[in-house]
């Protein structure tokens, strides 16, 4: 069966000492069987935070991005090989902030996903619509397009390495959460797409996370929905007690 996942995305936050004490706290949380905790850590801290959480087999770290090429003259970029060489095995790709600020396109993300899968990484692939798209009633088609353009020419076997995070842009960092019903209906749609494009097994075994103002007060209800397998959490993952409560919300 698919896993429950509580993933924190720290984004560009926390000084090292803060990151260390937060991850020490997380490493002491008892993670239920069938649940996985993932911390999306800034590049400079990955190796050290990985050591901090090593005592807890239920907790892992992820990079927040990677470059699509193996190496070369790409100043400021980080390759999958570099990440692998320090033991990192998971990467977040396609976050709406990278799509918006770094102009990452579906096509570029398709390249990054392929490179990551080839390098043996697990990918948390983000998708989600803007408020304008939602208000126009085009969110199902929009999200479907994102997935189709970046993921749908993969093979069924590749899906063992993929987690989808549905993160409506209008709910990120705004305090406005998609209602559990709104999130459930689009998660169910995504799962149906996986079934129709790949097969039943891919649909049933792929974890689909919700992201966008997840907090202790709403995590339980969101995670209780049949097609919501956890959360990708920004702000609340920076607060030890809040993230602990979210981890315990399954
Ligand atoms: P918030 O939880 O702060 O809304 O952020 C969500 C997010 O972007 C996680 O990747």
Beta bridge partners of 62: 40
Which protein residue's CA is at the shortest distance from atom 7 of ligand 1? 234
d(CA 147, CA 116): 16
Q: How far is the CA of 87 from the centre of ligand 1 (A)?
A: 25
Residue whose CA is closest, atom 2 of ligand 1? 234
pLDDT-above-70 percentage for the chain = 100
pLDDT confidence tier of residue 175, bands split at 50, 70 and 90: confident
Q: Are strands 59-62 and 90-93 parallel, antiparallel or unpaired?
A: unpaired
Does 95 qualify as catalytic in the annotation? yes
Q: What is the 3-state secondary structure (H, E, C) of the chain?
A: CCCEEEEEECCCCCCHHHHHHHHHHHHCCCCCCCEEEEEECCHHHHHHHHHHHCCCCCEEEEECCCCCCCCCCCCCCCCHHHHHHCCCCEEEECCHHHHHHCCCCHHHHHHHHHHHHHCCCEEEEEECCCHHHHHCCCHHHHHHHHHHHHHCCCCHHHHHHEEEEECCHHHCCCCCCCCHHHHHHHHHHHHHHHHHHCCHHHHHHCCEEEECCCCHHHHHHHHCCCCCCEEEECHHHHCHHHHHHHHCCC
Region 90-115: mean pLDDT is 98
Does the CB atom of residue 212 touch ligand 1 within 6 A? yes
For residue 1, is pLDDT > 90? no
Domains of the chain: 4-247 (3.20.20.70)
Residue range 209-240, pLDDT digits in tens: 999 999 999 999 999 999 999 999 999 999 99
- Cα angle 218, 224, 225 (rounded to 5 degrees) comes to 105
Average pLDDT in the chain: 98
Q: 57 Cβ partners below 8 Å, 6+ apart?
A: none
For 27-73, the pLDDT digits (tens) are 999 999 999 999 999 999 999 999 999 999 999 999 999 999 999 99
Q: Is the pTM of this model over 0.75?
A: yes
Predicted local distance difference test score (pLDDT) of residue 52 = 98
In this predicted structure, the answer to whether residue 152 has a pLDDT above a threshold of 90 is yes
pLDDT(25) > 90: yes
d(CA 61, CA 40): 6
In whole angstroms, what separates CA 200 from the centre of its chain?
Answer: 22
User: Does the pLDDT of residue 194 top 90, yes or no?
Assistant: yes
- Average pLDDT, integer, range 2-31: 98
Model pLDDT, residue 121: 98
Q: Is 177 in the pocket of ligand 1 (CB under 6 A)?
A: no
Q: Is the minimum distance from the CB of 65 to ligand 1 under 6 angstroms? A: no
pLDDT digit string, tens, across residues 60-87: 999 999 999 999 999 999 999 999 999 9
Give, in order, the Cα–Cα distances in Å from 38 to each of 108, 115, 210, 225: 24, 21, 14, 21
Model confidence pLDDT, tens digit, residues 109-132: 999 999 999 999 999 999 999 999
Q: How far is CA 130 from the centre of its chain?
A: 18
64 Cβ below 6 A of ligand 1: no
| Ligand 1 pocket mutation, candidates 7, 165, 214, 239, criterion most atoms within 8 A of CB | 214
């Amino acid at each position: 069966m698919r896993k429950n996942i509580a993933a924190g995305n720290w984004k560009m936050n926390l000084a090292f000492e803060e990151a260390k004490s937060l991850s020490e706290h997380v490493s002491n949380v008892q993670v239920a069987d069938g649940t996985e905790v993932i911390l999306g850590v800034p590049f400079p801290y990955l190796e050290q935070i990985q050591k901090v959480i090593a005592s807890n087999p239920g907790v892992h770290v992820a990079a927040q991005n990677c470059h699509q090429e193996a190496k070369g003259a790409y100043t400021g970029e980080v390759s999958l090989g570099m990440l692998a060489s320090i033991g990192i095995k998971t990467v977040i790709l396609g976050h709406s902030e990278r799509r918006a600020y770094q102009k990452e396109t579906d096509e570029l993300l398709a390249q990054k996903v392929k490179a990551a899968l080839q390098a043996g990484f697990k990918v948390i692939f983000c998708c989600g619509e803007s408020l304008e798209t939602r208000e126009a009633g085009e969110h199902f088609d929009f999200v479907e397009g994102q997935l189709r353009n970046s993921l749908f020419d993969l093979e069924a076997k590749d899906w063992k390495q993929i987690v989808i995070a549905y993160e409506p842009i209008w709910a990120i960092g705004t305090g406005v959460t998609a209602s559990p019903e709104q999130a459930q209906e689009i998660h169910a749609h995504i799962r149906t797409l996986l079934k129709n494009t790949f097969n039943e097994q891919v649909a049933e075994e792929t974890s689909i996370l919700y992201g966008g103002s997840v907090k202790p007060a709403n995590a339980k209800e969101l995670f209780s929905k049949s097609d919501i397998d956890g959360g990708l959490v920004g702000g609340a993952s920076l607060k030890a007690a809040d993230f602990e409560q979210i981890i315990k919300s399954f």
